[in-house]
Structure 1
Amino acid sequence: MSQPPLPILPLFRDDLPFDTVELARFMIGKYLVHDLPEGRISGRIVETEAYPVGDSTSHAFIGRRPYNEPMFRAPGYAYVRLTYGLSYMLNMSAEREETGAGILFRAIEPLEGLALVEARRPGVPLRDLARGPGRLTTALGIGQSFNGHDLCAGRDLWIGVIERGEVPVGVTTRIGLSREMERPLRFFEPGSAFVSGPRKLLIVPAADMAAPDRTQE
């Protein structure tokens, strides 16, 4: 007998913090859902990165262009980009409209639709199905067609919540960058085996995190 779907409720735009760093932290413990004709895939968001205003590593840093237009929308729109011609990355717009900022979804813990995910990533252990931003999009079947999609609309690809309230969140520096690596802008669920990157980096509890760094915005 199939299991009933998880009681995930859509997150609406009014639920989201406007500040990019706060939004990246807020999304830890929330859910990413892809409703497909063949079934639902969902997972708990366990890792994000913030790319705030003025960040030289952000695709919005050079200003608004046709390809990065979703990053200049109100919070909650998908910005899907192809990296190195190999992997799609799922980002979400942040800040107020016309500002230009976003967060990157780096990893989820797959919970529903595992057969669909495993069909896309055959022979991969559960821990590694969506551990990393490129693996995440492959596992959930996210491609360029979702660029500009409203993740707050509660349909197709969307973000949601089961239990509202604070959850434990760790913070550390971002990875895979050639500059601005020292800023504490990577957020994760402490103790989760589904977080990407070296384990030794995942040691900074949220309680020790300084106030959001907006000095470079």
Structure 2
Amino acid sequence: MASSIQVSRSAGQALPDAFFNRDASQLARELLGKVIRHRVDGLWLSARIIETEAYYLEEKGSHASLGYTEKRRALFMDGGVIYMYYARGGDSLNFSAAGPGNAVLIKSGHPWTDSLSGPEALARMQQLNPDAQGRPRPPSRLCAGQTLLCRALGLKVPDWDARRFDAGALFVEDVGDSPAALIRTTRLGIPLGRDEHLHHRYVDPGYAAVCTRNPLRRGQRAGQDYSWVDLAGMELPAAS
């Protein structure tokens, strides 16, 4: 497993809106390793994206399949629009992709520290997202789930739903550290009969043990329960 805190040695660059205007599965793969930065009270709270899920208009597991509404309007806009909703008692973060109704859910992340996001930022994330006893949550579990991620980063539905990125407040950055091999498996929480079998979930293998559910846990079989793929989505014979 990766170290508890990953330190960036690269200046990186914010992703342009055009980066998001691509196929949802491709976007879900290429977002792994990118860093979300949200400015809160003068601090840049940051998390590396380690787990994503792709959703399409035509499949039953997506919100967009239920049809256009004002609340879901962000899903029907071009790539790079933020779509947030409430799930499991918390906020969830999604980005629209190419094609009406297609999007990527940011399923989990991992705290990221560098010259822009230092120890004070991490401490603030722990303050925003304590454990059930009110104690600082361990960094490895701080963003391990879609609502935990939003809580730790201070992201709220009323503030960001249907908005575009803002370089002074919220953006996604390329720090030049994307994994070469990825894990592809089924999405989580999809009801039976709503295309729960589709392998549209992608995990950074270096962080598999601290994502929402470890796809490499005991009992999972390569080639059946999960597969190894490259950034283009082509299957690999084994982990690199």
Normalization by structure 2: what TM-score? 0.77
Residue 80 of structure 1 aligns with which residue? 84
Separation in 1, partners of 2:226, 2:64: 30
**Where do residues 135-214 of structure 1 align in structure 2 (5 Å cutoff)?**
135-144=148-157, 145-151=159-165, 153-163=166-176, 167-178=180-191, 179-192=194-207, 193-198=209-214, 199-200=216-217, 203-207=226-230
Deviation at residue 142 of structure 1 after TM alignment: 0.7
CA distance in 2, matches of 1:170, 1:73: 29
Give the aligned partner of residue 106 of structure 2: 105
Q: Aligned match of 2:96 in 74, 93, 96?
A: 93
Counterpart for residue 117 of structure 2:
none
Matched with 1:214 is none
The one-letter amino acid of 2:190's match is: L
Deviation at 1:125, TM superposition (A): 1.4
Measure, in 2, the Cα distance between the counterparts of 1:166 and 1:196: 18
Alpha-carbon distance in 2 for matches of 1:206, 1:61? 27
Name the counterpart of 1:119: 127
Cα drift, residue 35 of structure 1: 1.5
Contact 2:33 2:178 in 1 (8 A): no
Give a deviation string over 1:33-78, Cα, whole Å, max 9, x none. 1022331111111000000121212111122110000111111111
Normalized against structure 1, the TM-score is what? 0.85
Alpha carbon RMSD of aligned pairs, Å? 2.5
Q: Deviation digits for residues 73-112 of structure 1, max 9, x if unmatched?
A: 111111110125x11110111113xx11111001111013
Runs of 4+ in 1 over 4 A off after TM superposition: 3-6, 207-211
**How many Å separate the matches in 1 of 2:233 and 2:177?**
22
Contact persistence 1:21–1:52 (CA under 8 A): no
Displacement, 1:210? 5.8
Shift of 1:203: 5.0
Any stretches of 5+ residues in structure 2 without a counterpart? 1-6, 114-120, 236-240
Does the 8 A contact of 1:131 with 1:194 survive in 2?
yes
Report the residue type matching 2:92 in the other structure.
M
Structure 1: where are the runs of 5+ without partners? Answer: 212-217
- Tell me the CA shift for residue 21 of structure 1: 1.0
